[in-house]
């Protein structure tokens, strides 16, 4: 695991995830849900959900993605790692994977569940720097980004900044997937604004059907960079 503070000027030092987590603890679902709910209470705007996403939503996040020619994928905001197993199971061996998580507490949980996954503690706004640390050349070096970020809770500057930086590191034709809660995206100004920003930054944007087996029900945005 590469760990750091959330400051953008920080320089994460690489170390195995299990070390940072205090050794490969077996993650219990209740403890995981408890850590997540606590993180939400203390930081509702950055955690954006009271419970981790379901496996049904994790499956929808990777459905139809062709990983065969990919070399590098990133996960934003993995929390305790609800999507991580599905992403890593779908990606062939040899595809580089790393995650970026803002909350040190959730990062600890993540590391306990996925001790061999590389994780940076920091913000998705720092993605270019983390790519450099992974020896991926700063721009157009990533095939896919899977985001668990609560974009509908973010202000416009953060929404825009993360999307701009994501497009910068994605190769032409690269994929961006993220989810939103059904209803919220259409009803709240931040959700509507985010949808418009997706259309502005990506060549194509489609929405999945609602995944009802999630609390609350959600859908997946599938976006592709032009090129
Ligand atoms: C809605 S939770 C999703 C967690 C997990 N992916 C899931 O679906 O269960 C949002 C996650 O994004 C993280 N997060 C929020 N802002 C972030 C940022 N700027 N960069 C990286 N992670 C961030 C939060 O700490 C939290 O773990």
Look up the CATH number of the domain holding residue 65.
3.40.50.150
Q: Tell me the CA–centroid distance for residue 106 and ligand 1, in Å.
A: 9
Q: Confidence class of residue 23 from pLDDT cuts 50, 70 and 90?
A: very low
Give residue-wise pLDDT tens across range 151-177.
999 999 999 999 999 999 999 999 999
Closest of 171, 26, 17, 176 to residue 101, by C-alpha: 17
Q: Tell me the CA–centroid distance for residue 210 and ligand 1, in Å.
A: 20
Count of residues for the chain? 227
Q: Confidence class of residue 139 from pLDDT cuts 50, 70 and 90?
A: low
Burial class (CB in 10 A: 0-12, 13-18, 19+), 105: middle
What does the alpha-carbon distance between residue 224 and residue 227 come to, in Å, rounded to a whole number?
Answer: 9
What does the alpha-carbon distance between residue 184 and residue 154 come to, in Å, rounded to a whole number?
Answer: 13
Give the predicted TM-score (pTM) of the model: 0.88
> Does any ligand 1 atom lie closer than 6 A to the CB of residue 101?
yes
> Does any ligand 1 atom lie closer than 6 A to the CB of residue 81?
no
> Does any ligand 1 atom lie closer than 6 A to the CB of residue 48?
yes
Which domain range does residue 171 map to? 2-6+15-224
> Does any ligand 1 atom lie closer than 6 A to the CB of residue 150?
yes
Q: Tell me the CA–centroid distance for residue 105 and ligand 1, in Å.
A: 12
Please say whether the dihedral angle defined by the alpha carbons of residues 159, 164, 170 and 171, taken in this order, is positive or negative: positive
**Atom nearest to 36 CA in ligand 1:** 27
Average pLDDT over residues 213-218: 94
The DSSP element (H or E) to which 41 belongs, if any, is helix 29-42
Closest Cα to atom 20, ligand 1: which residue?
123
> Does any ligand 1 atom lie closer than 6 A to the CB of residue 70?
no
What does the alpha-carbon distance between residue 163 and residue 176 come to, in Å, rounded to a whole number?
Answer: 9
| pLDDT higher at 41 or 56 | 56
Mean pLDDT of the chain: 86
Average pLDDT over residues 108-125: 96
> Does any ligand 1 atom lie closer than 6 A to the CB of residue 77?
yes
Domain count, the chain: 1
Q: With a cut of 60, say whether residue 16 has pLDDT above it.
A: no
């Amino acid at each position: 695991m590469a760990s750091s503070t959330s400051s953008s000027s920080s320089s994460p030092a690489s170390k195995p995830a299990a070390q940072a987590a205090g050794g490969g603890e077996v993650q219990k679902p209740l403890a995981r849900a408890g850590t997540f709910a606590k993180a939400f209470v203390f930081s509702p705007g950055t955690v954006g959900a009271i419970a981790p996403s379901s496996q049904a939503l994790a499956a929808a996040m990777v459905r139809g993605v062709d990983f065969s020619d990919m070399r590098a994928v990133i996960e934003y905001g993995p929390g305790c790692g609800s999507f991580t197993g599905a992403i890593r199971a779908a990606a062939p061996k040899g595809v580089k994977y790393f995650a970026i998580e803002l909350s040190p507490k959730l990062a600890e949980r993540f590391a306990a569940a996925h001790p061999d996954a590389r994780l940076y503690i920091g913000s998705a706004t720092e993605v270019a720097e983390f790519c450099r640390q992974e020896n991926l050349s700063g721009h157009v070096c990533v095939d896919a980004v899977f985001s668990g970020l609560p974009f509908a809770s973010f202000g416009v500057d953060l929404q825009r900044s993360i999307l701009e930086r994501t497009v910068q590191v994605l190769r032409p034709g690269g994929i961006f997937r993220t989810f939103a809660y059904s209803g919220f995206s259409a009803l709240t100004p931040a959700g509507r604004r985010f949808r418009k920003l997706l259309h502005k930054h990506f060549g194509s944007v489609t929405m999945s059907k609602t995944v009802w087996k999630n609390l609350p029900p959600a859908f997946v945005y599938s976006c592709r960079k032009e090129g």
